[in-house]
Chain A
Amino acid sequence: MPDQTFLDSTELVLNMGPQHPSTHGVLRVVLKLDGEKVLGADCVIGYLHRGVEKIGENRTYQQFAPYVDRMDYCAAVSNGLGYCLAVEKLLNAEAPPRAQAVRVVLTELNRIASHLIWLGTHALDIGAITPLFYVMREREEILNIFEKYCGARLTTHAFRIGGLQYETYDGLEEDVKAACDHVLPKIDEYERLLTGNRIWIGRLTNVGVLNAADCKQYGVTGPMLRAAGVKWDLRKAQPYSGYQQYEFEIPTGTNGDTYDRYLVRMEEMRQSVRIIRQAVEKIPGGPIMAKIPKVIKPPVGEAYVSIEAPKGELGYFIVSDGSIQPYRLRVRPPSFVNLQALDQMTRGALVADVVAIIGTLDIVLGEVDR
């Protein structure tokens, strides 16, 4: 529809959030509406800004590690992995094979947990209440493993720079295998509830389309980019932590709409199970910490290291001045960058679709605002 018509007087500004159940936290979206049609969406963010990057400059490298868990609290393990890898890069150190395998197991479990939360809340936004209770049940299995391993369920701080803090507990392998066996058939169960559901298809198909070119323009990564048909995953493109040893597929979509993103994330959970099963089968023996100094003082320099977090590319750019504190610590959060595409995705959509689009972006405001 044309931008300017004589009907401009009907233009309405609608404030959505920051206290709104479907904005997944304290996101405020200022919608410009023409009737039910969205003409534009302006995001107001920063309600959860804690100055994580400034805190990083004022803490030692080890002290800062627990803070990263508080960014994307649905995927704390991934955040920790990215940070540890970045500092290890600056130190030119590498975690021993045993630590790497355990890291992969826990990170992939966390990916499933993060996607489960996304599925539950996204379906809830659309009006399907049941999956939320189901996913909480499966997520519990995964969080129990985290709790047994490191004592925390959400902000785990599971890894240390150079490897792992804790040796695995007796029976971790069995627990992980049991969790995999439990989750995998449940994914089919969710799909039976949703994938062929007429309302689900009607609400998601051709909603919030973002094609591959737009994704690249906006720097959108992760499942959103893959749903647009780009077969790109950092675990394959630039493997870290031994991902090259494991066989898995990169699921892709074709249309780049909300329904495709749903399918991609569902398949990603299955692939994560596949990776976990391979990794847990052959956790090598040996030390869990690399030989790194007690006081971490990376040589003067800078490095950018990124990983495939559940939401997309999570990067850390660290500048070291040779002291015990980072001189500059920049976090490249996937949620923040992906959220920028909201305006483009909502244009021309209906108000009810905005809720679906925010859900499909899979943002965590703790990471957007940092």
Chain B
Amino acid sequence: MPEDDKPEVKPAQAAPPAASKPPVAKAPAVMAVSPWEGELPSSLNQRFGDQVPEFSTYLGQSFLVAKPEAVIPILKVLRFEADFDYLVDITAVDYPQRPERFDLVYILYSFARNQRIRVKTQIADGYKPATATAVHLAANWLEREVFDMFGIEFDGHPDMRRILLPEDWEGYPLRKDKSILACDNKWIEEHLGIEGGQ
């Protein structure tokens, strides 16, 4: 009997890979980037060296990954020397399993070059990145929204309060460990007089 079992198990194990197509479904788990080459990245590389470990392009969109403390100097150089005078957006992405938990993303645009780039950095939970308000006034509300949603506090921000949620709300909803149904039940009971939000 045990000898009969063995040949039976083998085809059964071999069958699933043949039926489905794991090599196709398992797309690369990292972004398939190509290097970003040109005048701007090479001059930034010369200037900041290992502070900016990555210059990449994905789907024709260029971005650089910088050390957290180098972000503001880079934004300054980009704004005053390379015409990236329009801060489109600041946002964050949460990767709870990573030691540097958050990706902080600055999207910049240059009217003169008609070019859009992203400046990204990775920061740990509790790290206070410097504010960009001194470089771009637009950063004020955008950073407040990042603080509101992710709990990333910006160092030196003139008005670091919540913006969309009530000021005494507990919790940061866009963190991945917050369920979509999670809310501050205490606040809701207190202010709205109803039992919980959901």
Compute how far the CA of A315 lies from the CA of B174 in the bound complex, rounded to whole angstroms: 18
- Report if A340-B59 is in contact (Cβ < 8 Å); known contacts: A45-B164, A300-B30, A332-B107: no
B93 and A327 contacting across the interface, CB-CB below 8 Å: yes
A301 and B138 contacting across the interface, CB-CB below 8 Å: no
> Among the listed A306, A317, A337, which residue makes an inter-chain contact with B138, where contact means beta carbons less than 8 Å apart?
A337
Residues of chain A within 8 A (CB-CB) of B61 are 303-304
- Report if A340-B140 is in contact (Cβ < 8 Å); known contacts: A89-B59, A317-B107: yes
Compute how far the CA of A300 lies from the CA of B25 in the bound complex, rounded to whole angstroms: 12
Q: How many residues of A contact B (CB 8 A)?
A: 42
Residues of chain A within 8 A (CB-CB) of B174 are 53-54
User: Looking at chain B, what size class is its interface with the partner chain?
Assistant: 35 or more
| Binary per-residue interface labels of chain B (110-134) against chain A in the complex, 1 for a CB within 8 Å, 0 otherwise | 0100101010000000000000000
> Among the listed B107, B164, B165, which residue makes an inter-chain contact with A315, where contact means beta carbons less than 8 Å apart?
B107
Q: Is B149 an interface residue (CB 8 A)?
A: yes
B64 to chain A, nearest CB (A): 14
Compute how far the CA of A139 lies from the CA of B178 in the bound complex, rounded to whole angstroms: 42
Compute how far the CA of A337 lies from the CA of B105 in the bound complex, rounded to whole angstroms: 16
B137 to A, closest residue via Cβ: A217
**Which residue of A238, A302, A327 has the most chain B CB atoms within 10 A of its CB atom?**
A302
Q: Is B11 an interface residue (CB 8 A)?
A: no
- Report if A90-B87 is in contact (Cβ < 8 Å); known contacts: A46-B163, A217-B137, A299-B28: no
Q: Is B58 an interface residue (CB 8 A)?
A: yes
A29 to chain B, nearest CB (A): 14
Residues of chain B within 8 A (CB-CB) of A90 are 59
Residues of chain A within 8 A (CB-CB) of B93 are 319, 327-328
Q: Is A219 an interface residue (CB 8 A)?
A: yes
Compute how far the CA of A249 lies from the CA of B116 in the bound complex, rounded to whole angstroms: 23
A325 to chain B, nearest CB (A): 11
- Report if A313-B88 is in contact (Cβ < 8 Å); known contacts: A58-B180, A332-B107: yes
Q: Is B185 an interface residue (CB 8 A)?
A: no
B173 and A304 contacting across the interface, CB-CB below 8 Å: no
Q: Is B27 an interface residue (CB 8 A)?
A: yes
- Report if A317-B59 is in contact (Cβ < 8 Å); known contacts: A300-B29, A328-B94: no
> Among the listed B32, B91, B137, B164, which residue makes an inter-chain contact with A46, where contact means beta carbons less than 8 Å apart?
B164
Compute how far the CA of A247 lies from the CA of B87 in the bound complex, rounded to whole angstroms: 29
- Report if A55-B180 is in contact (Cβ < 8 Å); known contacts: A217-B138, A300-B29, A322-B29: yes
* Sample of 4 further A-B pairs with CB below 8 A, known A304-B89, A317-B89, A337-B138: A49-B165, A55-B180, A317-B105, A319-B93
B residues lining the A interface (CB < 8 Å): 27-32, 58-59, 61, 85-89, 91, 93-94, 105, 107, 111, 114, 116, 118, 136-138, 140-142, 145, 149, 162-166, 173-174, 178, 180
List 11 A-B residue pairs with CB atoms under 8 Å apart, sorted by A's residue number: A46-B163, A55-B180, A90-B59, A232-B111, A237-B114, A238-B114, A299-B32, A313-B88, A315-B89, A328-B94, A370-B164
User: What 10 A-B pairs have minimum CB-CB distances, sorted nearest first?
Assistant: A219-B138, A46-B164, A332-B89, A330-B91, A217-B137, A328-B93, A301-B31, A49-B164, A58-B180, A340-B141
